[in-house]
Structure 1
């Protein structure tokens, strides 16, 4: 007789009990991981991907003469496909 009442109460109040417990376990895990990783370099990038791309493109084009371009009639920018043959 008492067991169904206990089960109903546990089902009704489970979020109120489990959420704080999960929060505490998560906070402890977060702090523990932060402590373990404190000696390593940060997993996050220091600069964005777009900044890295801009720097790479500028480094590639640093010694090129950008005024010399291919003729459009040569069509070197079009990939060779079945339709181009």
Structure 2
């Protein structure tokens, strides 16, 4: 008798488990929204790019845009290439 029961359970398992899983999921979904409450509308947040652009504009507002570093001054502080670090300097 047991082999017949196991064969029937194996055959009809999808027809039994899907409705049970559907009901459990629906109950859990509605229970979660009942506990959380209705979502409150949020104010639209600015993107990171917009925040960065605003910060840069605020920083540049008090600066003189004609006073910039020359290219030679900028190159003084750049690190050497990683592959040339351990090589002896050429004279």
Question: Normalising to structure 1: TM-score of the pair?
Answer: 0.65
**Tell me, which stretches of 5 or more residues in structure 2 are unaligned?**
86-91
Instruction: Give per-residue Cα distances to partners, 1:7-43, cap 9 Å, x unaligned.
Output: 001011111100110011011101111111116658x
**Aligned residue for 1:53?**
48
Question: Bigger radius of gyration, 1 or 2?
Answer: 2
Q: Choose between structure 1 and 2 for higher RCO, CA contacts under 8 A separated by at least 6 residues.
A: 1
Tell me the TM-score normalized by structure 2.
Answer: 0.61
CA distance in 2, matches of 1:34, 1:70: 58
Can you give the 5+ residue segments of structure 1 that lack an aligned partner in the other structure?
Answer: none
Corresponding pairs, count: 79
